[in-house]
Amino acid sequence: MPKKTDFTLLEKYIRKHPVLCDFHHEWKKKGGLMVVIPVYREQDWINETLESIMSCDEPECEVGVVLVFNASEYDSHEVVSGQKASAEYIRNNYHNRFPKWMHLFIMEEYSLPKKHFGAGLARKIGMDAAAYCFLKAEDPDGVIVTLDADTTVSPNYFTALRDWFSNPANRGASIYYEHPLDGHNFPDEVYEGITLYELHLRYYLQAHRYAGFPYSYHTMGSAMALRAVAYAKIGGMPKKQAGEDFYFLQKLIPLGGFGDLNTTTVFPSPRPSDRVIFGTGAAITSHVDGSDYIGKTYHIQAFEDVKLFFERKNEFYNLSPDKLEEWSYEFSGPVRSFLLNYSVLSDLQVIKKDCSSVDVFSKRFFEVFNAFKMVKYLNYTHEHFFEKMPVFDASLALLEIQGHSTDEFMFEKELLDYFRKLEKG
C-alpha cells in the first residue's frame, strides 16, 4: 500500500514540472512498467529495438512504451520532417502489432531549446510523462525504465524487472548490459574499441568496489530503472546534454534500495557518435578516427591508495584538529595532496560536528567523499602523480590483488568475458 507521502511527493513534482501528456487516461493499471525511449534520427535502429521488446516474455503486469521523438529549435526542416515521418511510420505499423499487455505511446517535441537539447532532455520529457501516468493511476510505486533507440534486450527483460520490483525495498536498479563484441554491422575497429571501452567500464566499477566506495554502479542511460516516487524525490532527470545518467543516479543511489539487476541483459549499440562530448559513442568515435586511443584507464595504485583512506576513515572522528596534519602523513602522497588541495579534511570537520557517534559519521562520510569527489580524486592524481595504464594490465592487476588466477588471459576479450561473469555472479 503506497504511503500518503509518496502521493504527495509525486503530486508536488508534477505541479513543479507540468506535463503535456495526452495518454495518461489510457494507463490505468497499477503495478506496471513504463519504458522511456528517446528517439532522435534513429530510423536505422528503432525498428530493431521495438521488435526486441515486442518479443519479450509477458510479465505479470502491463507495460507502457513511451517513444519521445524530438528535435531542437535549430534543426533543419529535413531533420524534423524525417522525425515526423518516422513517428508516423511507427504509429501506423506497430500500434496493432504490440501484444495485448504492451501499450505504445508516442510523444513528439520538435522545437526543444538548443541550450538543453540532447538525450537527457528527451529522456526527462518521457520520464515526466510516465511519472504523471503513475500519479493518475494512483501508483507512485510504478516503475520507470530507460532504454535507448539503438538497444535490444533479453527475452526475460520485463519479467526480470517485474521480479526485481516485486520487492518493496527495491527503489531502483542498474541493469546488466553487454555490448556486441563482433558481427557484421560495424568495422573491426569499432568492435575492438568497444571491447576496450567496456573492459575499462567494468574495471572502473570493480576497482571502486575494491577500494570500498559504497555507491559503485554502472550509470548507463539505456540500462536503469526506478520507482516513480523515487524519481520525484530526487527531482527528476536533469536536462544536461551529456552525463545526465551519471548525475541522475548519484542522487538516487545514496537513498538506498538500489542494486544490480543481473538476471537479464541489455545490449547497447557500439556505434560511433558525435552527439555528446563523452560516453560510449564519443569514445568509439575518437578510437576509430585515431584522435584518442581508449585502451588506457586509471592506475590501480590510485585505488589502492584511497582504499587505505576509506578503511581508516573512522579514525578521523576521534582526532582533534591539531592532530589532523600528522594523521594525513599516514597516507600516500597523492591522497594527502588531494585531501589538502580539495579541502576534504575541513569538509569532514564540518559534518563531524553534526554527528553524535562514529557510526553516524561513518554513514555521512561519503556525503563528502561522494562519486563526484572520486572522479576529481582520480583526475587530480593522474594529472599530478600517476600515468594511466593499459586497461588490460590494470584489469589483470586488480584480479591478482583479489586472488584470482590470471595466467590464462591473453586477450582483452577473454578478460572482459571474465569480468562479465564476475558481475553476473
Interior angle at CA 242, CA 162 and CA 180, nearest 5:
55
Same domain, 177 and 318: no
The per-residue pLDDT for 360 is 95
- The whole-number pLDDT of residue 114 equals 86
Domain boundary pick from 293, 325, 348: 293
Overall number of domains in the chain: 2
Whether 304 and 235 map to the same domain: the answer is: no
- CATH code at position 208: 3.90.550.10
**Is 410 among the domain residues?**
no
Is 397 inside a domain boundary?
no
Q: What is the pLDDT of residue 41?
A: 92
- Sheet of 172-177, strands arranged across: 102-112, 63-72, 33-39, 143-146, 224-227, 172-177, 258-267, 152-153
Q: Which of 293, 313, 343 is the last residue of a domain?
A: 293
Q: What is the pTM of this model?
A: 0.94
Q: Are residues 269 and 151 in the same domain?
A: yes
Same domain, 269 and 313: no
C-alpha cell at 57: 516474455
Task: Give the pLDDT confidence score for residue 240 in this predicted structure.
Answer: 67
Quote the domain boundaries for residue 314. Answer: 300-384
CA distances from 378 to 2, 53, 217, 385 (A): 41, 38, 17, 10
For residues 249 and 378, state if they share a domain: no
For residue 399, is it within any domain? no
Same domain, 273 and 378: no
- Residue 425's pLDDT is what? 83
In angstroms, rounded to a whole number, what is the distance separating the alpha carbons of residues 97 and 246? 35
Residue 67 lies in a domain: yes
**Residue 182 belongs to a domain:** yes
Q: For residues 78 and 180, state if they share a domain.
A: yes
Q: Give the integer Cα–Cα distance in Å for 179 and 163.
A: 24
104 and 203 fall within a common domain: yes
Is 350 in the same domain as 376?
yes
Residue 176: inside a domain, yes or no?
yes
Over the chain (425 residues), the average pLDDT of each successive run of 10 is 80 89 77 94 94 98 96 94 97 93 95 86 95 93 97 99 98 98 91 94 98 96 96 90 82 96 96 65 71 84 98 95 92 97 94 94 95 97 97 97 93 96 92
Angle between helices 188-211 and 300-311 (to 10 degrees): 20
Q: Indicate whether 332 and 193 sit together in one domain.
A: no
Residue pair 269/275 in contact (Cβ under 8 Å)? The answer is no
Q: Tell me which of 369, 384, 399 is where a domain ends.
A: 384
Sign of the C-alpha dihedral, residues 267, 268, 272, 278? negative
Residues 343 and 261 in one domain: no
pLDDT at 7: 86
Q: What is the pLDDT of residue 156?
A: 99
Determine, yes or no, domain membership for 411.
no
Task: Evaluate whether residue 72 is within a structural domain.
Answer: yes
Residue 267 shares a structural domain with residue 313: no
